[in-house]
Structure 1
């Protein structure tokens, strides 16, 4: 077995929450995203005032039984911290096995009780757990009974149509020993186009004594402060907002050019499939590029073609070059600026 350095206690989410309270600001958190919150993206957002970052959800059953799943689903390094790994799980046995395998490599473990994707809910995970408060409480209790303070555990939930159910749910998981709770202010069937219910999140915050993180509709640094002030939550989680703008918590209103250069560096150094790299750039640049140029980017068929396209149209600096990662506005090549 390789030697594993113990986790830095200052990277524990509860320590970070207290530290941010002393700084009189909310904790800034990048939430879990299927496929997209992998190591390169996590590394990027940490450079822009993100305090805690989540991994994509990992299916406990596959992870504990299949070495290939372990190798493909979870990649990390010594700089990938503070990190919370999110797990999709529906029984105590799989969760305890999962925690045993992964807890030395992360700073916290989050149980997904909110993902509304049908493939997940059919398996009894994600939002399906919203109707299984006793099961979730049992899973939390089992982890805390075995590991105590050695493992920080969170539950990420959505709200119920009947908020009394939500209140009952959070009271049960709090009594079971959960360390903090993240609340997405929508039900499992609420479309993302419908505003998040911050009154419901505020109600949860008033109900429990553990820290509460507000999730939903955070697209700017101002949003983060406004949401935290309205709900009185200890932290704010961004998901769609930070995917489009990894520099959100640093106060930029759109992805900076420097963040584009840094993402190129991280994604090629650590490795990421071409289509995922292309998708990240599409999210970051869609609001900023002329439509024809954006289409050209999306027509690229492989990584070399995409990199050549960037070099043909922009001044794309590499790590080690003066000014790398510092530009705010898009660095068009001179001939391109004539056609904007």
Structure 2
């Protein structure tokens, strides 16, 4: 029996994440912009909106490998994509090499890379040895990275998104081991496993770790507290990383990387368009996205209260058409407005 390599999506300069990370300063005169994984929220429609507004690389939500490889229904619910959904990194929550290799074989034809989640601080995941538990299990993490890179080489990119240890040198040692195992780039979230998101990200720690591993030639991406392009540039200038991953900031304002300080109305129209075109978003998820964008846009309070009481997507569309000028994709000016186009009233 011949050993036929598993199918993968061909990497080119347009969709190879590692090439994009290394070349963005030359091609775009800026560091690379990355839309990070958001549990439940980084679905296909939202990913496409982020791409429209200059996100160079986009991640899926974390997908649990064990459920994905064993359950057809989990695969249908957790992952959908199309030909324009690229460059795409599929993030995985995993605690053993076998599941990771099976997972990689399933998603490799539909993505440009896999990211191992080594940062999730949720207690249930940590008990399973997933997420930030992995930064305390360097032998297993290095083994998983090495297994994927041995099987796929440069045909499939592999990233690890880690948190920092209380002892930064412990993080440096982990990063060196990941480099030895063949990781393509490392994303550092500048908080420890127990640091609350309300505590500012530790840029000094990211800088320290980056300086120590930069001679290895493996790019480093910073994650945490990027809510505007001023934040983006501050992080780049202070830490010397190769790019910045935004997560919470994009949920409120998917146009962040296009230098909008608050969410423009056009992003909301685009989100509606992709949500209807691709389908598959439950009403509550759709509603939450709109809630977050409207929070950024400072929607009138009484309308925001009405929004959160709407029970079906059909009612939601009707509510939009009653209160706003919501353009469809074939209308002049679609996705171009910045301010909320109120109908029948003025914003007080």
The normalised TM-score by structure 2 is 0.94
Indicate whether 1:332 and 2:342 are aligned. yes
- Match in the other structure for 2:126: 121
CA shift for structure 1 position 9: 4.3
Query: In structure 1, how many angstroms separate the alpha carbons of the residues matched to 2:141 and 2:51?
Result: 30
The 5 Å alignment of 1:1-340 reads: 6-22=10-26, 23-208=28-213, 209=216, 210-271=218-279, 272-287=281-296, 288-333=298-343, 335-337=344-346, 340=348
Query: In structure 1, how many angstroms separate the alpha carbons of the residues matched to 2:29 and 2:320?
Result: 41
Query: In structure 2, how many angstroms separate the alpha carbons of the residues matched to 1:216 and 1:4?
Result: 31
- Three-state SS of the structure 1 residue aligned to 2:314 is helix
Query: In structure 2, how many angstroms separate the alpha carbons of the residues matched to 1:88 and 1:7?
Result: 24
Indicate how the Cα distance of structure 1 residues 5 and 177 shifts in structure 2: closer, same or farther if over 3 A, else same. Answer: closer
Is residue 214–residue 237 contact of structure 1 (8 Å, CA) maintained in 2?
yes
CA shift for structure 1 position 10: 2.4
Following TM superposition, where does structure 1 have runs of at least 4 consecutive aligned residues deviating by more than 3 angstroms?
3-9
State the number of aligned residues: 336
Query: In structure 1, how many angstroms separate the alpha carbons of the residues matched to 2:327 and 2:41?
Result: 24
Query: In structure 1, how many angstroms separate the alpha carbons of the residues matched to 2:176 and 2:11?
Result: 30
- Three-state SS of the structure 1 residue aligned to 2:14 is helix
Query: In structure 1, how many angstroms separate the alpha carbons of the residues matched to 2:182 and 2:24?
Result: 22
Is residue 83–residue 108 contact of structure 1 (8 Å, CA) maintained in 2?
yes
Name stretches of at least 5 consecutive residues in structure 2 with no aligned partner: 1-6
Query: In structure 1, how many angstroms separate the alpha carbons of the residues matched to 2:324 and 2:149?
Result: 52
Query: In structure 1, how many angstroms separate the alpha carbons of the residues matched to 2:101 and 2:14?
Result: 25
The normalised TM-score by structure 1 is 0.96
CA shift for structure 1 position 19: 2.1
What's the CA shift string for 1:249-284, capped at 9, x where partnerless?
000111110111110001111111111110001000
- Three-state SS of the structure 2 residue aligned to 1:111 is strand
CA shift for structure 1 position 4: 8.2
Query: In structure 2, how many angstroms separate the alpha carbons of the residues matched to 1:17 and 1:4?
Result: 20
Name stretches of at least 5 consecutive residues in structure 1 with no aligned partner: none
Query: In structure 2, how many angstroms separate the alpha carbons of the residues matched to 1:268 and 1:122?
Result: 38
What's the CA shift string for 1:45-69, capped at 9, x where partnerless?
1000110000000111111111111
CA shift for structure 1 position 134: 1.1
Indicate how the Cα distance of structure 1 residues 35 and 72 shifts in structure 2: closer, same or farther if over 3 A, else same. Answer: same
Query: In structure 2, how many angstroms separate the alpha carbons of the residues matched to 1:325 and 1:108?
Result: 30
CA shift for structure 1 position 302: 0.7
Query: In structure 2, how many angstroms separate the alpha carbons of the residues matched to 1:126 and 1:308?
Result: 41
Indicate how the Cα distance of structure 1 residues 4 and 91 shifts in structure 2: closer, same or farther if over 3 A, else same. Answer: closer
- Match in the other structure for 2:4: none
Is residue 9–residue 111 contact of structure 2 (8 Å, CA) maintained in 1?
no
Is residue 133–residue 169 contact of structure 1 (8 Å, CA) maintained in 2?
yes
